[in-house]
Amino acid sequence: MTHPANPESVFTYGAPQLKFGRGAAEEIGYDLSLIGANRVLVVTDRGVAATGTPQRVADHMQRFGITAHVFDGSRVEPTDESLQAAIEYARESGPWDAFVAVGGGSSIDTAKAINLLLTNPGALMDYVNVPVGAGLAPVNALKPLVAVPTTTGTGSESTTICVLDVLSQKVKTGISHARLRPTLAVIDPDLTMTQPPGVTAASGMDILCHALESYTARPYTSFERKAPERRVPYCGSNPIADMWSEKALGLLAGSFRQAVQHGDDADARADMALAATFAGMGFGNAGVHIPHSNGYPIAGRVKDFHPKDYPADEPMVPHGMSVALTAPEAFRFTFDAAPERHLRAAALLAPDAERTRDPAEQLPTILIALMRDIGLPNGVTGVGFDEGDVDGLVEGTMKQQRLLATAPKPVTEDDVAAIFRRSMQLW
């Protein structure tokens, strides 16, 4: 790690207003009535709509004199095209006073894009991160957005990010700006009870990687000092984000396997929901690094993999699965940059685990045991890639420089290639 000439001495912390607990989703109408909202668009996807939850949330709002309309056209893992279609739908059916996203990261991110483009000039690609898009900052304030997660995963309800697949460039990237952060996050664990096991497993690995990557991220003090106007939401690891990541790991230790294997366990579901929220509040301010950078090309270059419990119409590697597959090897690689953090994370995640002879193996060993138990595919070959795909995957990872910059040590193409090769099969 290079030592900055003028080290950063400031970090920032942002989070939305938050309501957590069983029954919280019934209070959204009240919360929106306080700001005088009359016409509200509820944004979801078809799978979540089929559980009846979005319509129930809309019906509760009607009691406060709010007209709420359910739009179920979010794509599972949004693309530029799906976001564009959603934006057009909302524009034609508007105006809307506020948006309520009920669903996983896919629905919440779709609502963020709708909100951005209905309140600001220009086109979607104007706001997408450089070099894929123009990376412009929104000039106008957005409308109120209430984010109501039904998965236990992304933490999108508390982040400033909207993730999308830009089809023409075969790349997953994002829009990132403080204005995208939801006004209010409403986390009601009851809504997560219908999450199928496959979704619980993949989205749970997203929580875990958020916590581990932000906890092992380059410390904020290792960056050059930024001018105030150059500050970004991701600061590197810092004492406040660390606290959330540690708490998230402790909750996952007690609930992850149980939530996958016994989805009707309300306590496990509630702990997973809390873990997702905590990890979101951590990584949303610290950042993520190698596993997430590798996850984007794994998802973007999918060939013919159809995961259980996800829509079957198109091949996909779900986000949480795509980031998990190289995590054991990524943390074996980063171990020497911050051994004590890797060991502390391992101890939080599996307090009773046997000590491995080589301390660098501790966290990877725990991760692999967990992934086996919850039914994740066995490595990158498990989702349809082989050695011949490594060059393409590495190229995709190297495009995620914004994320790689948060890794605790420099990452070369050869390093990434070695991580992919060693991740072909994990057990």
Residues 26-55 that bind Zn ion (CB under 5 A): none
**Do 235 and 12 contact (CB within 8 A), yes or no?**
yes
- Regarding 105 and contact with ligand NAD (CB under 6 A), the answer is yes
Name the CA radius of gyration of the chain, rounded.
20
Burial class (CB in 10 A: 0-12, 13-18, 19+), 59: middle
Distant-in-sequence, close-in-space partners of 412: CB < 8 Å, separation ≥ 6: none
- Regarding 77 and contact with ligand NAD (CB under 6 A), the answer is yes
Nearer to ligand NAD, 107 or 362 (CB): 107
- Regarding 406 and contact with ligand NAD (CB under 6 A), the answer is no
Q: Count the Cβ atoms, other than its own, within 10 Å of residue 236.
A: 22
Site string for ligand NAD, 3-42 (x = CB under 6 A): ----------------------------------------
- Regarding 253 and contact with ligand NAD (CB under 6 A), the answer is no
The distance of closest approach from Cβ of residue 43 to ligand NAD in the complex, given in angstroms and rounded to an integer, is: 11
* Residue among 109, 329, 389, 415 that touches ligand NAD (CB under 6 A): 109
In the complex, residue closest to Zn ion by CB: 206
The Cα–Cα gap between 247 and 243 comes to: 6
- Regarding 277 and contact with ligand NAD (CB under 6 A), the answer is no
Place of tokens 């450089």: 130
Residue 198: name its binding partner from ligand NAD, Zn ion, none (Cβ under 5 to 8 Å by kind): none
Please give the helix or strand (H or E) that residue 278 lies within, else none: helix 266-286
Place of tokens 């080589």: 358
70 strand-pairing partners: 42
Range in contact with ligand NAD (rule: CB under 6 A) among 46-54, 61-69, 137-145, 251-259:
46-54
The Cα–Cα gap between 219 and 236 comes to: 5
* Residue among 194, 221, 258, 261 that touches ligand NAD (CB under 6 A): 194
The Cα–Cα gap between 97 and 94 comes to: 9
Nearer to Zn ion, 214 or 362 (CB): 214
CA dist list (Å): 271 to 223, 309, 372: 34, 22, 21
- Regarding 45 and contact with ligand NAD (CB under 6 A), the answer is yes
Range in contact with ligand NAD (rule: CB under 6 A) among 12-20, 43-51, 80-88, 338-346:
43-51
- Regarding 294 and contact with ligand NAD (CB under 6 A), the answer is no
The Cα–Cα gap between 186 and 60 comes to: 14
Residues 188-217 that bind Zn ion (CB under 5 A): 206
Would you state the structure tokens that stand for residue 51, as one six-digit string?
Answer: 């559980």
Binding residues for ligand NAD, rule: CB under 6 A, are 45, 47-48, 51, 76-78, 103-107, 109, 150-151, 153-156, 159, 161-163, 191-192, 194-195, 199, 203, 206, 310-311, 319-320
Binding residues for Zn ion, rule: CB under 5 A, are 206
